[in-house]
Amino acid sequence: MGRAGTALKQVLENYGISQNRLAVTMGVGRSNVHRWVNGTTDPVAEAVLEIRDALQQIDPEAAATFVRHYLGSVPDIEEK
């Protein structure tokens, strides 16, 4: 699994955000989010920005954690 998928999976779990909620906020199919979270595919750079923007709408702290983890500035995501 790529870095973005790993970060996304942990953020969704730690902040209690469903794949469906993220997908609806992003305007994409839930199957896309499912593939990213489960490591089937990794989101392209543009999608990473869209993930960040959607998380910002849902929970700004989750968005900040996603970015920090994706960029590798924190070794592990701390639980909320």
Q: What pLDDT, in 10s, does the model give residues 32-55?
A: 999 999 989 999 999 999 999 999
DSSP 72: T
User: How many other C-beta atoms are found inside a 10 Å radius of the C-beta of residue 57?
Assistant: 11
Please spell the DSSP secondary structure of 27-58, one letter per residue: TS-HHHHHHHHTTSS---HHHHHHHHHHHHHH
51 φ, ψ (degrees, to nearest 5) = -60, -50
Does residue 78 surpass a pLDDT of 80? no
Task: Choose the CATH number for 3-71 among 1.20.120, 3.40.1360, 2.40.50, 1.10.260.
Answer: 1.10.260
* pLDDT band at residue 77 under the 50/70/90 scheme: low
Task: Give the position of tokens 């070794």.
Answer: 75
CA 26 to CA 75: how far, in whole Å? Answer: 27
Does residue 80 surpass a pLDDT of 80? no
* pLDDT band at residue 9 under the 50/70/90 scheme: very high
